[in-house]
Amino acid sequence: MSLAFPLAVSALLFSIGVFGVLARRNAVLLLVSVELMLNAANINLVAFDAWWADALHAGQVLTLFVITIAAAEIGIGLAIVLLVFRARGSSDLDDLGVLDERSDVPDPIEADVEAPAASEPHEVGA
């Protein structure tokens, strides 16, 4: 078996995954792109395992570990995306820059409100 075809398919999948990670702003599509990159690594592991034909089949065993980790990653990742979507109403990655959930709290950097001086009396109920 020649390594050219599996390596070409793996490189194509990995490059599509990298493009998806760099270009996408949706968290679900980012997770799908990461899964594409992990599957490209799995193709490489199985292809080199078949090429070297070792008795332990280390590439296939390592592929099973990668599949297990990928399943855990997608489960936890989707749970986090679901919680963020419920809290904010969007799964856009650009909106996750601000970690504060409350929208009624003004940003102290952007606010032009001066704090009252300590020597001035504070009126209550006015």
pLDDT digits (tens, 9 = 90+) for 38-57: 999 999 999 999 999 888 89
pLDDT digits (tens, 9 = 90+) for 91-122: 888 877 766 555 555 555 555 555 555 555 55
Q: Percent of the chain at pLDDT above 70? A: 75
Q: What pLDDT was estimated at residue 30? A: 94
HEC readout, 24-50: CCEHHHHHHHHHHHHHHHHHHHHHHHH
What is the model's pTM?
A: 0.72
Answer whether CATH 3.40.630.30 is correct for domain 4-90.
Answer: no
Ranges of each domain in the chain: 4-90
